[in-house]
Structure 1
Amino acid sequence: MTFDFQHILRALGPAIPSGPWKEALRAGLGALIGLGCVGLFILSPLVDLRTGLYLIAPFGATSVLVFAVPNSPLAQPWSAVVGNMSAALVGVGVCLLVPDPALRVALAVGLAIAVMTLLRAVHPPAGAVAMTAALSPDAVQSLGVWFALAPVGVGTVLLVVLATIYARISGRHYPFRQFEDRNSHGTHDPEPAERLGLNEDDLTGILDRYRQSLNLGVEDLARLIGAAEIEAARHRTGPATADDIMSRNLVTVGPDTPLNQVADLFRQHGFTSLPVVQDGDKFLGVIFQIHLIRRAREDAFRLDRRFSAAMARLLDQNRDRPVSASEIMATAMPRALPTTPVAALLPMMSEGDCDAVPVLDRGQIVGIVTRTDLIAALARHSLSAPETPL
């Protein structure tokens, strides 16, 4: 029997990719704020220690999940709160019935895992909650069932609430998105990258079949499958670049162009986007038709008038100070080089609300790739690709 030491060493190494420093900072700062706030509340002079409120070590483990991996099924509110509290109840019960310390710890943790699994509330820190109870029989017996409410229940609920607020502030989703949640446009269709032809039951079946239901949510699986399909499509697009498919004869506007002229160009050419440039074709941004609609809608709410009146006012060329292109253009958007592969443009346009990608050369716009350009290129490629025999 031979040993492949290189394989063994790789197996003993990290199993997850390295995370960006911003995400590490976000997670660490969240845990600091969360535990800090919980500690300030619990250790406040206003809180009577006789209520049983105090910090316990498993709160640190719960913080790792809810702040660092908020998409994990193990970190969701039901898992955290019900898991920790049910484990605490198990620990209290074992303390009252089993005098031997070693047996008490093993039994408390084992039973807690079984109960959490039955309740669909598996939460790894809950094992430490049960062990904490088993190792502190005197304190737990004095508190009784109250131990599950305070500190365990109160502390966990506080962490979950703080994690929810922090996720909203820092641009993450917690609790994780459900399969039937509305998309970015406010409708119930899945996001374009998640339209797989599979329903929630199909995806749940995949997770169950591969025993991954504790590691991944249905929504996340849909996103990963969609991303994998896009990546596979990228490998089939061949060597084509943005330079091969982009629109070159561009209609552009300047930053000071009034919006009534922008609207006229949209109507005249049937475009959905117009690049904004300075002298020498220096790229500044892009105006999409939706920008006009959003600005008019905002003005209608702000001025308490009808949308049609707000749009007419927005496009009125006789205003004292007409609204210009630079005031509504988008600047934070994907950009490409002439040498950017078409494959790299696919994820740019398949997610979010990006309808066109400007192609820049040393800061100057030399073309633009719209979704129409991309669809036409993919259609040509599919027609030229050899047929696969059945």
Structure 2
Amino acid sequence: MQERLLDWCRSFAPVPLSARPAEWLRAATGIGLALLLVIPFSAWVFGISVTLPLAAPAAASAVLLFAASSSPFAQPWSVIGGNLLAAAIGIALGASPLPVAMAAGLAGALAIICLFGLRCLHPPGAALALVAVVGSPELHAYGFQLLFPVAFNSLLLVVVALLYNNLSGHAYPKPRPQKGNTHHTHDPLPSERMSFRDDDVERALAEFGEYVDVTRDDLAQLIKQTEKHALRRSMGEITAADIMSRDLYWGTPDCSIQRAWQSLREHRLHSLPVVKGESRELLGIVTLVDLLKHLRSTPARLRLSQLKRAGGARLRSIMSTPVVTVNPDTHMVDLVFLLSDKGLHCLPVVDAEQRLVGMITQTDLIAALYRNWLKHLPTEAPTACWDDA
């Protein structure tokens, strides 16, 4: 009993924040800039007597928009739709003959129910509903015209959030992850076929039973990231430098397509990195698909005469760029996701100066995974035999 009481008391302590101090400064700057724009402009358009009662809910909305921009509470539909709907409910109940205390309680309750129902839950909306009920007679005289300054503030806050968050490296509104694979089939991604699925997340949220301030997509992404970190710990520090091929064939931008094809065919390669002369700075990559697209050959056997008829075409005209690359310190777990879910067949390894230092293919990765699996196989202890005689 005493231990349970202590645990309950500990729940009042502040939980650790995942945001770094740089993120605190970024969010605080965004909130300050937004309020410096919204309050003066709103006062200029609608007057200070209307702006001041609406300033506190606007500040609360700004906190969500800049400090928790990935929250469902902070998405544009939640901010604009939630504020307008809650304000309309407060205006209607404020004009009713109900006592102020009863009208205020009903406004808050009805606002939350409606915002839940329309999927635009936004906590500052409850404050707006309360302001509309208990505001001054001058504010009540506006009636439903009070929705215009509410809409103005909400729209301006969202516009500032769109500009500031995206310019400071935070995608807003929160993008939905793309579903499906690179082959445009209905199969799940390779990494998801033996992992959890969307319906598993739905069941977990249903069992949790409470509202969770995170989108389902973000929750699934967090679980995947946790799995990756756990896998890294169990596999040990195996990096790209440990498994990459170092003796490479490559071409230059002025290399002919005919010569590139001969190199691919002679050495049984599927891709050829394109580098800048002796510096070996990676410029692009040429695959068999790139060659076939250029030659527009038939499905039949590709003949050398077709390459000769291609004229003086050079690799610079057909190479793919930019190239998805990794550095020598990239962990093998990250390589797995790149070579499976992203549909890549090889990964050039480059150093800090973007010079080509190695290449990792799906074959290299499979061999490394196999060796790691053998290393972690449990060793069976020999069983003792007893002779009863």
TM-score (norm 1): 0.69
- Residue of 319, 327, 334 corresponding to 1:335: 327
Pair 1:218 & 2:208 matched? no
Higher mean C-alpha deviation, range 359-368 or range 65-74:
359-368
- Cα 1:80–1:214 change in 2 (3 A) is farther
What is aligned with 2:349? 358
Spell out, residue by residue over 1:232-269, the C-alpha distance to the aligned partner (whole angstroms, 9 max, x if none): 33233245444442212211334654566445544553
Does the CA contact (< 8 Å) of 1:356 and 1:368 recur in 2?
yes
Counterpart AA for 2:18: P
Residue identity over aligned pairs, in percent, reads: 29
Which has the greater radius of gyration? 2
For 2:83 and 2:32, locate their aligned partners in 1 and report how far apart those are by CA, in whole Å. Answer: 20
- Cα 1:2–1:195 change in 2 (3 A) is closer
Higher mean C-alpha deviation, range 326-335 or range 119-128:
326-335
- Structure 1 residue runs of 5 or longer lacking an equivalent are 298-305
Spell out, residue by residue over 1:176-205, the C-alpha distance to the aligned partner (whole angstroms, 9 max, x if none): 3446x4569595766665556555443222
For 2:288 and 2:9, locate their aligned partners in 1 and report how far apart those are by CA, in whole Å. Answer: 56
What is aligned with 1:132? 131
For 1:88 and 1:388, locate their aligned partners in 2 and report how far apart those are by CA, in whole Å. Answer: 68
Counterpart AA for 1:217: T
- Cα 1:99–1:212 change in 2 (3 A) is closer
For 1:388 and 1:108, locate their aligned partners in 2 and report how far apart those are by CA, in whole Å. Answer: 67
Question: Residue 95 of structure 2 aligns to a residue in which SS?
Answer: helix
- Displacement of 1:152 in angstroms is 1.7
- Structure 2 residue runs of 5 or longer lacking an equivalent are 298-305, 381-389
Higher mean C-alpha deviation, range 354-363 or range 248-257:
354-363
For 1:291 and 1:57, locate their aligned partners in 2 and report how far apart those are by CA, in whole Å. Answer: 61
What is aligned with 1:288? 285
What is aligned with 2:18? 17
- Displacement of 1:83 in angstroms is 2.0
What is aligned with 2:366? 375
Superposed, 1:1-390 pairs within 5 Å as: 1=2, 12-19=13-20, 21=22, 27=27, 31=31, 38=38, 42=42, 47=45, 56-97=55-96, 108-147=107-146, 149-161=147-159, 163-164=161-162, 172-178=170-176, 181-182=178-179, 187=184, 198-211=196-209, 213-238=211-236, 240-254=238-252, 257=255, 261-262=259-260, 264-268=262-266, 269-274=268-273, 276=275, 278-279=277-278, 282-285=279-282, 287-289=284-286, 293=290, 318=312, 324=316, 329-330=321-322, 333-337=325-329, 342-343=332-333, 345-346=335-336, 355-358=346-349, 360=351, 365-383=356-374, 385-386=376-377
- Displacement of 1:123 in angstroms is 1.0
Question: Residue 141 of structure 2 aligns to a residue in which SS?
Answer: helix
- Displacement of 1:127 in angstroms is 2.4
For 2:354 and 2:201, locate their aligned partners in 1 and report how far apart those are by CA, in whole Å. Answer: 44
TM-score (norm 2): 0.70
- Displacement of 1:59 in angstroms is 2.0
Structure 1 vs Structure 2 CA RMSD:
4.9
For 1:331 and 1:346, locate their aligned partners in 2 and report how far apart those are by CA, in whole Å. Answer: 17
- Displacement of 1:72 in angstroms is 1.5
Does the CA contact (< 8 Å) of 1:255 and 1:326 recur in 2?
no
- Displacement of 1:150 in angstroms is 1.5
Does the CA contact (< 8 Å) of 1:334 and 1:348 recur in 2?
no
Question: Residue 213 of structure 2 aligns to a residue in which SS?
Answer: coil
Question: Residue 55 of structure 2 aligns to a residue in which SS?
Answer: coil
- Cα 1:243–1:86 change in 2 (3 A) is closer
- Cα 1:216–1:289 change in 2 (3 A) is farther
- Displacement of 1:286 in angstroms is 5.6
Spell out, residue by residue over 1:40-71, the C-alpha distance to the aligned partner (whole angstroms, 9 max, x if none): 76456xx4659x78863322222332344332
- Displacement of 1:142 in angstroms is 0.7
